[in-house]
């Protein structure tokens, strides 16, 4: 059985966006494309309805490209348990109150036992300062949290 990966919305966004003129953003986009091409087949990918909704928003042409990339990926339920865990992540300030959707991404991946949560959201999700608190709350709820990482971190070579 392959390891499982929850694809957070920034992944299809970076994958399908026009190349950014900003050097760091362009490098992250390229890393995402490389991961998608080279590493993706080694994993079972999952999204949630949250990802599908976020991907379909904004510019219609960009949204079409994002939706096309995630089309057919299995969707994980946003269960009551996930909503409770997300609420705890917010209440205990592991995730700021304004980032409820980010807390839901983490909670959905955690409750479903996903191995990795892949994201470029380094402000609220893949944040080394916040990660220990996120993991502690997930474990206090009786769940093993996914490894939260960027495509650069999930490349084997």
pLDDT band at residue 94 using 50, 70 and 90 as cut-offs: confident
Predicted local distance difference test score (pLDDT) of residue 157: 65
Listed in sequence order, the DSSP H helices in 20-130 are: 23-34, 49-55, 60-70, 80-91, 100-111
Give SS3 for 148.
strand
- For residue 82, being part of any structural domain is answered with yes
Give SS3 for 18.
coil
- For residue 157, being part of any structural domain is answered with no
How far apart (Å, rounded) are the C-alpha atoms in residues 53 and 77? 13
- For residue 51, being part of any structural domain is answered with yes
84: pLDDT strictly greater than 90: yes
pLDDT digits (tens, 9 = 90+) for 108-131: 999 999 999 999 999 999 999 999
47 membership: H or E segment, kind and range: strand 44-48
- For residue 138, being part of any structural domain is answered with yes
Give SS3 for 10.
helix
- For residue 22, being part of any structural domain is answered with yes
Give SS3 for 33.
helix
Pairing of strands 75-76, 116-118: unpaired
Tell me the mean pLDDT in the region 95-119: 96
How far apart (Å, rounded) are the C-alpha atoms in residues 114 and 24? 28
What residue numbers bound the domain in which 50 lies? 4-149
User: Distance from first CA to last CA of the chain, Å, rounded?
Assistant: 21
Whether residue 97 contacts residue 69, with contact meaning beta carbons closer than 8 Å, is answered with no
How far apart (Å, rounded) are the C-alpha atoms in residues 73 and 135? 26
Predicted local distance difference test score (pLDDT) of residue 15: 96
Which position has the token pair 């993991």? 135
Which CATH number goes with the domain that contains 60? 3.40.50.1010
156: pLDDT strictly greater than 80: no
Please return the burial class of 1, using the count of CB atoms within 10 Å of its CB with bins 0-12, 13-18 and 19+. Answer: exposed
- For residue 120, being part of any structural domain is answered with yes
Predicted local distance difference test score (pLDDT) of residue 155: 87
pLDDT digits (tens, 9 = 90+) for 129-152: 999 999 999 999 999 999 999 999
Per the structure, how many domains does the chain have? Answer: 1
């Amino acid at each position: 059985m392959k390891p499982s990966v929850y694809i957070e919305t920034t992944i299809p966004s970076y994958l399908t966006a026009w190349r950014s003129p900003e050097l760091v953003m362009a490098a992250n986009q390229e890393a995402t494309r490389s991961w998608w091409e080279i590493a993706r087949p080694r994993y079972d990918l999952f999204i949630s309805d949250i990802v599908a909704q976020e991907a379909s928003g904004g510019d219609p042409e960009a949204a079409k490209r994002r939706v096309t990339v995630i089309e057919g990926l299995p969707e994980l339920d946003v269960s009551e348990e996930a909503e409770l865990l997300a609420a705890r992540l917010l209440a205990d300030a592991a995730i700021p109150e304004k980032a409820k959707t980010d807390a839901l991404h983490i909670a959905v991946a955690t409750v479903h036992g996903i191995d990795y949560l892949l994201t470029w959201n380094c402000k609220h999700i893949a944040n080394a300062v916040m990660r220990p608190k996120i993991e502690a709350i997930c474990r206090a709820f009786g769940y093993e949290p996914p490894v939260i990482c960027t495509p650069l971190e999930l490349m084997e070579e």
